[in-house]
Amino acid sequence: MKYFNYLLFGAMLFSGSITAGEISVYPQPRSMQISQGTVSITSQPRIIGQEEASPIALASIEALFKDKPEATAGTSRFSIIIGERGDKSVKKYTRNIPQKADGYYLKISDNTVIIAGNDERGTYYGVKTLGQLIENGQLPEVEITDYPVAAYRGVVEGFYGTPWSMKARAEQMSFYGDYKMNTYIYAPKDDPYHRSPNWRDPYPAEKAAELKALVETANANGVDFVWAIHPGQDIRWNDEDRDFLIHKFEQLYDLGVRSFAVFFDDITGEGTDPVRQANLLNYIDDNFNKSKPDLKPLLMCPTVYTGSWGKQNDYLKTMGDMLNPDINIMYTGEEVIVSITRESVDWVNSQIKRPVYIWWNFPVTDYVRNRLLMGPVYGNDTTFTSADITGFLSNPMEHAEASKIAIYSIADYSWNPATFNGEKSWKDAIAMLMPKDADALECFARHNSDPGDGWFNWRREESKEIAPYAARFAEAVKKGEKPSDEDYARMKCEFEKIVSSSDRLLANDENEALVKEIGTWVRQFKLQGETGREVLAMVKAYNKADSAMFMAKYKHVRALQQQSFVLDQTNNQNEYHPGILVGTRVLQPFINEVFSGITKSYNAKYGTTLEIMSEYSPHKFDTTIEQLKGAPVRVKGENIQIPPQLEVIRWGAGCYVQIDLAEPLEAVNVQINLEKTTPEIWKFEVLAENGEWMSLPLTTENGEMTAKIDREIKGARLTNISGRDLEVFLRKWNLVVKK
């Protein structure tokens, strides 16, 4: 029989109602060949080998065909031959089964399906692939040989912030099973029984029952539930604490947990000692893990979990030298937030003397909680083999459903890095999550993928397709020129698409969990689209010398800015990164630049004094520094801020920045960071209720200038009194007030 290789001839047609181009298996198989034929499914299959085969694989088969009728006399019935290596049912196919963990061989031909796993989980994955191949009651005749690169693939729930609900976790287990991920690490930072102060204490009965149910759900979906303990912050290196830890593991073992981890990340003090850590881990491995033959290898997260930190000391080398060779060691890459490179993996493996277990900090947003990271997975090396990495796990967002876009692609990547196509996998993930409105979700996700600028120094592509149009348009406005018709049309089309996509997403009823998670960001996204559309109309009105239309659109933009401000101030008010930010890399800067630029041009032409501040705030910003004119004043809880600026600020002698408050407020202090400057060349003043400016002394604390205020004020001002022009970085301006 003639076969076509799927990877080379995926778009070719074959007989029956299925085409090769319609066949999608995720993660992408290592080898998949398609013949010219199909198998029709008209009744429940005959199962051969069910006496020995994987129970979860058999349960999955039953679920696949539960809606099919029982076969009757004269009915054409197909057979499924199923089993694991060594089982009688699949003995004749032994040579076809890949000798790799989680590997399987699947063949569909002549009204027969063969599913032969290297182990029970491999058989289960073969059944999951079978389910993906069913289309309109038919199966293509195919032959698949498949196995993963990374032995452990999945998710570590290790982020800071709001933890997932038990319901969301259970749903995640099903998702992992469907897409061949086998690992979930339970390590929520807010669980006091996982970390300090209560890691020594057993779980209360109610919480223990919840965990037991979750473990059972994981097992039913072929997922290892890994329970992690985080004792390092207050551990006492004595026998008593060691015994507490073992007793805690015993409780979780009794709840059904068969995989354990010890985390020493993000701690200080005596708990960071690598020698003591290694001795404790070896003791656990020797006296707990090895005493229970059904346990998976022990996993640890080190205190030094990045390459840049590891190169400053011998911590990782100590772990490599001292730890039992079967203990796996986690690693986030060269930095905390970074793509995983060949160079970094080769280096860490040379230190730890075993294939590394990757904890990839994507799409986690605990360092930018006012954003969503919903863009494609890309940037990781695609040449890794099982000799390089033993595990590859995602640290996701606190938004469980939204995280599935990235998790889906990470499942694809960690199974078969060599053939991974990030853009295609991303689009397929979106279509999987929201089939009816996939294009609307894609629009939202394309514009909400970048974490912004910060200490992590890791940027993601965002709004890539429209970026050139936006740049040319904004530059034309800045120069006082008319933007091209092409650029105007492209930006208008994009903003119209944003508005319509937002409405469709908010009305979507096929994935209510996703809409609930991202709904506030979608509403902000719609306001952004409406604002962009009206800013474009301002430009058009200005170029047509239609002053009445310009003013109407200007007023509408100001109203939309105020709505956006209220949404930002009243939603997602976490203490670290409050608010709702969308489209920050291209869209919002474009709107700000064009609004400020065209308003300046209008003021100059018509002699008006319209406010050019591009973001709404109840407070007003005034400055004699040209670079800062139009900067917004942001309100974040009790903080009134001038946003940090990326470029060098040329602060002329005698020039100032000033905030005029909407109403008198009781101020506590001000915190100013201009980087490498001293208080004596600056004058800080506050505006008293009587209308007089009062000078207050500045001092330096932890590299920042600060002044105590402790009075009711109407404004604040900082002036360069050095007598010379200065070049500074505006890193922070934060006026703290009492609510």
Cα separation, 304 vs 310, whole angstroms: 6
Cβ atoms of 685 and 662 within 8 Å: the answer is no
Q: State mean pLDDT over 92-119.
A: 97
**CA distances, 699 to each of 670, 706, 724 (Å):** 11, 5, 21
Nearest C-alpha neighbor of 50 from the set 79, 82, 78, 87: 82
Quote the percentage of the chain above a pLDDT of 70.
96
Question: 99 phi and psi, to 5 degrees?
Answer: -85, 60
Q: Which residue out of 266, 381, 439, 546 is catalytically annotated?
A: 266
Mark residue 137 as left, alpha or beta (left: phi above 0; alpha: psi -120 to 50; beta: remaining).
left
b/e map 482-497, b = 16+ CB within 10 Å:
ebeeebbebbeebbeb
Q: State mean pLDDT over 207-218.
A: 98
Residue 118 is predicted with a pLDDT of 98
Residue 70 is predicted with a pLDDT of 87
Cα separation, 451 vs 368, whole angstroms: 6
Q: Residue 492: pLDDT above 80?
A: yes
| Burial zone of 241 (CB within 10 Å; 0-12 exposed, 13-18 middle, 19+ buried) | middle
The number of residues making up the chain comes to 739
Residue 9 is predicted with a pLDDT of 29
Q: State mean pLDDT over 707-718.
A: 96
Q: Residue 11: pLDDT above 70?
A: no
Q: State mean pLDDT over 332-351.
A: 98
Mark residue 152 as left, alpha or beta (left: phi above 0; alpha: psi -120 to 50; beta: remaining).
beta
Cβ atoms of 471 and 400 within 8 Å: the answer is no
Residue 3 is predicted with a pLDDT of 32
**CA distances, 511 to each of 373, 498, 681 (Å):** 18, 19, 57
Cβ atoms of 46 and 113 within 8 Å: the answer is no
What SS3 state is found at 421? Answer: coil
Residue 77 is predicted with a pLDDT of 77
Write down the pTM of the prediction. 0.88
Residue 646 is predicted with a pLDDT of 61
Q: Residue 739: pLDDT above 80?
A: no
- Given the structure tokens 């065209």, which residue do they identify? 598
Residue 391 is predicted with a pLDDT of 98
Could you tell me the pLDDT band of residue 10, with boundaries at 50, 70 and 90? very low
Chain mean pLDDT for the chain: 93
Nearest C-alpha neighbor of 39 from the set 134, 143, 142, 140: 140
- Residue 54 makes CB contacts below 8 A (sequence gap 6+) with 84, 117, 120, 121, 123, 124
The tokens describing 270, both together, are 């005596």
Element (H, E) at 724: none
Residue 574 is predicted with a pLDDT of 86
Q: Residue 72: pLDDT above 90?
A: no
Give tens-digit pLDDT for 368-387. 999 999 999 999 999 999 99
Give tens-digit pLDDT for 598-632. 999 999 999 999 998 877 788 988 999 988 887 77
- Residue 178 makes CB contacts below 8 A (sequence gap 6+) with 128, 131, 221
Active site residue 266: yes
